[in-house]
């Protein structure tokens, strides 16, 4: 006889599976898996480097970093633009203050 705990998990899994089949959670899980895979590659690459397999560890780590950067490019581009604008404003303020001194 099954316990209530097992039956509860079974109902939760059935509900999640049905919602995924209906397409409710598919975009969320697709994006989450898309981020987890490059992070996993980075971790495995680091682990390989620590274990002494430097060449293969570095290759896996590099692919993981490139994959993660590609997945996060939607936020990296605007942040880089903001950083450039702030840096340019700081340079302009620095020139004006040194000119008067």
Whether the CA torsion 75, 80, 63, 61 is positive or negative: it is negative
pTM for this prediction: 0.56
Residue 26 CA, distance from chain mean position:
18
Q: What is the pLDDT of residues 4-26, one digit of tens each?
A: 667 788 888 888 777 777 776 66
Range of lowest pLDDT (11-15, 29-33, 96-100)? 96-100
Q: 29 to each of 25, 26, 88, how far by Cα in Å?
A: 6, 5, 39
Element (H, E) at 76: helix 73-100
Statement: residue 85 has pLDDT above 80? yes
């Amino acid at each position: 006889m099954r316990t209530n705990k097992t039956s509860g998990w079974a109902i939760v899994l059935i509900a999640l599976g049905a919602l995924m089949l209906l397409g409710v959670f598919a975009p969320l899980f697709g994006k989450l898996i898309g981020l987890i895979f490059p992070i996993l590659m980075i971790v495995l690459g680091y682990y390989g480097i620590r274990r002494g397999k430097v060449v293969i560890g570095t290759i896996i780590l590099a692919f993981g970093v490139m994959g993660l950067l590609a997945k996060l490019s939607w936020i990296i581009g605007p942040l880089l633009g903001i950083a450039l604008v702030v840096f340019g404003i700081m340079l302009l303020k620095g020139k004006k203050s040194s000119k008067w001194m």
